[in-house]
Amino acid sequence: MPDYNYDGFTSNSYNLDKFFGPEIGTKAQDFTLSTLEDEKVKLLEFSGEFLVLELGSITCPLFQGRREGMSDLVARFSNVSFSVLYIREAHPGSNVPAHKNIGDKISCARELKNEDGEQRKILIDNIEGAAHKGYGGYPNAIFIINKKGCVVFRSDWNSVGATRAALVKLLNGEPAHPKSYFLPVKPWVAFKTLRRSGKGAVQDFLVGLPKLIWKNIIRRNFLLFIGSQKSISPDAEC
């Protein structure tokens, strides 16, 4: 993944033909990450029956557009742990530029908590994005991991409805196999997020938009519709 902390987004910043995150039924990678309190914690040390891990940044419209729905899931599923893995800025601009050092990354993660009101545990990846790359490198992927460290549900793009349905199944002792279709966020959410990023972010996004629509909304969703979804037992060992 060259130029990990890129200064400007392009549709070539991601391989939109194949998601390389850990597959369902495989062992989730563990990483030592930082918290906003400057503590070192293990990603897979969690207290709930499952861990719901979402990747995101303050400049990602998709992540910002899912946050309200994810907050509802946190309130509904009190026996599940929820964490945000703070990654690189999806759409850097003049106001929120690419991270040049770990201090920049921590500052943006703190903004997510203090200004945006994020209540989930925020785990901060290192400046090279080791955990982000280990979990596929996409800007808003989501994973559900059981207590044995096994991935029991994943989606390269988070859909709150599919994540909710997966949790209901898993907590009922059933395999989770809902199809998580790519759903664009409301235009005002995208505009607000990109305007916050600053000069350059909106233009970069609009230039890449036709390819994003083709690769995600059309091609990806069609392949997901005609394909089958892998699933395993909620208490599976990997």
Question: Which CATH number covers residue 176?
Answer: 3.40.30.10
103 inside domain: yes
Query: Is 143 inside a domain boundary?
Result: yes
pLDDT at 1: 43
| pLDDT given for residue 2 in this prediction | 53
pLDDT at 229: 86
Handedness of CA 57, 161, 80, 232 (dihedral sign): negative
Into how many domains does the chain fold?
A: 1
> Residue 165 domain-assigned?
yes
Instruction: Please report the pLDDT score of residue 186 as a whole number.
Output: 95
Inside any domain, residue 5: no
Give residue for tokens 């850097």: 92
Domain range enclosing 19: 11-226
Sites in the chain below the pLDDT cut of 50: 1
The pLDDT value recorded for residue 97 is 98
Q: Say if 33 falls within a structural domain.
A: yes
Within a domain: residue 80?
Answer: yes
Does 2 fall in a domain? no
- 236 inside domain: no
